[in-house]
Chains A and B, each alone.
Chain A
Amino acid sequence: MTTTVGPPTERTTAPRPAPPRRRRPLLKANGRRALTAWLFLTPSLIVLLAFTLYPMIQAGYLSLTDYNLIRAARFVGLDNYVELFQDPAFWNAFGNTVLYAVVVTPVTVVLALLFALMLNQRFVGRSFARTAIFLPFIVSLGIIAIAWAFLLDPNIGLLSYWLGEIGIVPEQGWLNDPRYAMAAVMAVGVWKNVGFYMVIYLAGLQSIPGEIYEASRLDGAGPWQRFRSVTLPLLSNQTLLVSVLALIATLQAFDQIWVMTHGGPFFRTETLVMLVYREGFQQLRFGYASAISFVLLVFVFILSMVQFGYLRRKQVTY
């Protein structure tokens, strides 16, 4: 109710006091409202500034030192970064991270969309399928990865056995064979998150008005054409969100790979975050680990920006 003059709206049942008299103190109270806003923001701002922003700046500084928790930090300039770019372990982890992201992100997004489209139809057992596909997202990767490691065990793993029965047998087992370990952890990565993105797509599908489909049906569009020219463009908001979230998540993959392989065999599945953990918390080279995490930050930031820019251009608002 922002109007001061004019007929009363239908909602006002009881007569109100004349607006101008009560409005004036409200406008004067703007300063007090700003103060209230800052008071509401205070707890969050304190926590965010102290425990996120300040550590971020600190990480930038640490990456220029040889800090190791035991003796005081010594400023070493860009030495860590120079070492980093010559370190095969870094390039290995970087390559693995990129490989993981470029495979897992599109596979997850496409599968999520496919599942959402199918589960938007009506059929017996739909609620079960929706819940079953979503459930992996809320269970702990640290815990479920233990189950996956057992399922894929070459000697007693049920999944290894079943896959063996249909003729797929890596000699040293899925997680010990350098050729298959990455594929196995990728599959688990997709399995874990596909349900969450599916829900975002379902929410999107359900907000598309039925009339649009009716109209395109009357225009004689087939199912594929309807999908290409109606559904997909109207889901571009969801696609933007889902792909940015999925990309950020894959670049930060840690839990499931850590439990399943510890980065092995032969560092074939070691990601950047795992390298940060290993260099920082196992080797105590905090300066060096900070440099790695800063490179990761820059990488995530650039990729998200590129993705935002690209998908924003293709976006449809309705």
Chain B
Amino acid sequence: MAVSTVLGRSDLGDPTEQGRPVRPSRRPGGGQRAVTWILAITMIVVGLLMLLPIIWMMFTAFKPESDIVSYPPTLWPRELTIDHFIDVWNRIPFARLYVNTIVFAGGVTLISLLFDSMAAYALARIPFKGRAVVMVLILVLLMLPFQVTLIPLYDMLNGMGLTNTLPGLIIPRMTNAFGIFFLTQFFLSLPKDLEEAARVDGASEWRIYWGIVMPLARPALLTLGLFHFQYNWNDLLWPLVMSSSVETSTLPAGLSLFMGQHVVEYGLLMAGSLLSLVPVILFFLLIQRSFVAGIATTGLK
């Protein structure tokens, strides 16, 4: 079982760290060491290049406007200011956008983790007639581009008076085929012994699901939680379609609307953008350790 992290320190690929005997032949020699250093330098440079837009955004948010538009442009600020962060709260309904995004992404993540895992529990752990039919339905919906349903969905929610509201944004996302598929794969990999014992002792299916299977599924739930959270936190098209004003919008949609209207205020936009990246990055750093245990033990392996 892969209880480790791909992005963190430990490494499953190295047999020495899995309690297997150390093989002296794998010790790097002199030539090997040079190769390792070249590799290290190359990958650190690649990493920095990948981070460039984020690093640049960070520095730009602290630059005075005159510095941002000066030529030649520089990465490092000549002068530091926090004016843009103050501006962003005063000039656009930033707090409103932030709350909307938290409620939308957080709400969708929690509800869909519950619904996805209930469905996945039934599909993976309870034999019943019709299971195959439901599995096929899930797989077909997995391939369906979301955009295909966009228009009728909008139309339907518009008819219910749910456009420009948070429930309208959240309700269609309360479960999804990918989440059910992902968790089904994980639940299938769990050993049967514990729950069989509980079943013999007369525990209800709900108690087995909630008390035994869910705690075991923690890495997978956190990983799927990250996917759901980042996807909805970042989604542009859905909030753009569902809300017509900045007040009922989410951060990506709100900021992109704002960019169209006030093109020149780079510092303000960068400060707003930077603030909106914080929760997703925090979420990721918090669950980083379980993250790949989740991937390595599901169908994504």
Chain A residues packing against B (C-beta within 8 Å): 1-2, 11, 16, 22, 26, 33-34, 36-38, 40-41, 43-45, 47-48, 51-56, 58-59, 62, 69, 115, 118-144, 146-148, 150-151, 155-159, 161, 191, 195, 199-200, 202-208, 210, 214, 237-238, 241, 248, 251-252, 254-255, 258-259, 273, 276-277, 280-281, 286, 289-290, 293-294, 296-297, 300-301, 304
**Bound complex: CA A146 to CA B15 (Å):** 44
Pairwise interchain contact A206-B118, C-beta atoms closer than 8 A:
no
Given contacts A47-B175, A254-B236, 16 further A-B contacts (CB under 8 A): A1-B192, A26-B199, A43-B119, A48-B176, A58-B155, A119-B43, A129-B44, A139-B281, A143-B234, A147-B273, A150-B266, A156-B68, A254-B237, A258-B256, A286-B151, A289-B151
**Which residues of B does A touch, CB under 8 Å?**
2, 4, 6-9, 11-15, 20, 23, 36-37, 39-40, 42-44, 46-48, 50-54, 56-57, 60, 68-75, 114-116, 118-119, 121-123, 126-131, 134, 137-138, 141, 143-156, 158, 171-172, 174-177, 180, 192-193, 196-197, 199-200, 205, 209, 226, 230, 233-237, 241, 251-253, 255-256, 259, 266, 269-270, 273, 276-277, 280-281, 284, 288, 291-292, 295-296, 300-301
- CB atoms of B50 and A136 under 8 A apart: yes
Whether the pair B292, A248 counts as a contact (CB closer than 8 A) is no
Residues of B within 8 A of A158 (CB): 56, 73-75
Bound CA span A290–B68, Å: 43
Contact residue among A43, A51, A128 (Cβ-Cβ distance under 8 Å from B47): A128
Pull 15 A–B residue pairs with CB atoms less than 8 Å apart, ordered by A.
A11-B193, A26-B200, A33-B127, A36-B205, A43-B174, A47-B174, A48-B138, A51-B153, A58-B152, A123-B43, A135-B54, A156-B70, A207-B2, A210-B15, A296-B148
Taken together as a complex, chains A and B put the C-alpha atoms of A248 and B118 apart, in Å, by: 27
Residue of A at shortest CB range from B36? A123
- Minimum distance in angstroms from B66 CB to a CB of chain A: 11
Highest count of chain B CB atoms <10 Å: which of A130, A159, A286: A130
A201 to chain B, nearest CB (A): 9
A207 near B177 (CB under 8 angstroms)?
no
Q: Is the CB of B175 within 8 A of A132?
A: no
Asked whether, in the complex, the Cβ of B270 is within 8 Å of the Cβ of A44, the reply is no
The answer to whether A44 and B50 touch (CB under 8 A), given A147-B57, A286-B155, is: no
Quick check: B43 and A252 within 8 Å, CB to CB? no
* A21 → B minimal CB distance (Å): 11
Provide the bound-state CA to CA distance between A297 and B146, in Å. Answer: 9
Q: How far apart are B177's CB and chain A's nearest CB, in angstroms?
A: 7
Given A41-B134, A123-B40, the answer on whether A206 and B13 have CB atoms closer than 8 Å is yes
* B301 A207 Cβ-Cβ under 8 A: yes
Known contacts A34-B129, A140-B233, A146-B259: does B51 contact A135 (CB below 8 Å)? yes
A53 and B133 CA atoms in complex are apart in Å by 14
Q: Which B-chain residue is minimally distant from A237 (CB atoms)?
A: B301
Determine the distance from Cα of A203 to Cα of B6 in the docked complex, in whole angstroms.
7
The answer on a CB contact under 8 Å between B126 and A138 is no
Instruction: Chain A residues near B237: list those with CB within 8 A.
Output: 254-255, 258, 273, 277
Q: Which A residues touch B300, using CB under 8 A?
A: 200, 203, 241
Given A118-B42, A120-B13, A289-B151, answer yes or no on A144-B54 (Cβ-Cβ < 8 Å): yes
Question: A37-B128, A122-B11, A203-B2 in contact; A156/B69 too (CB < 8 A)?
Answer: yes
Docked-complex contact B122 and A37, CB < 8 angstroms: yes
For the complex, give the distance between the alpha carbons of A161 and B69 in Å: 13
Taking a contact as CB atoms under 8 Å apart, the answer to whether A146 and B39 are in contact is: no
Q: Is the beta-carbon distance between B20 and A301 smaller than 8 angstroms?
A: no
Report yes or no: B175 in contact with A205, Cβ–Cβ below 8 A.
Answer: no
- Complex-state Cα separation, A117 to B121, whole angstroms: 35
CB-CB under 8 A for A248 and B143, given A118-B42, A203-B6:
yes
Return chain B residues, CB-CB under 8 Å to A161. 71-73
Is the Cβ of A140 less than 8 Å from the Cβ of B252?
yes
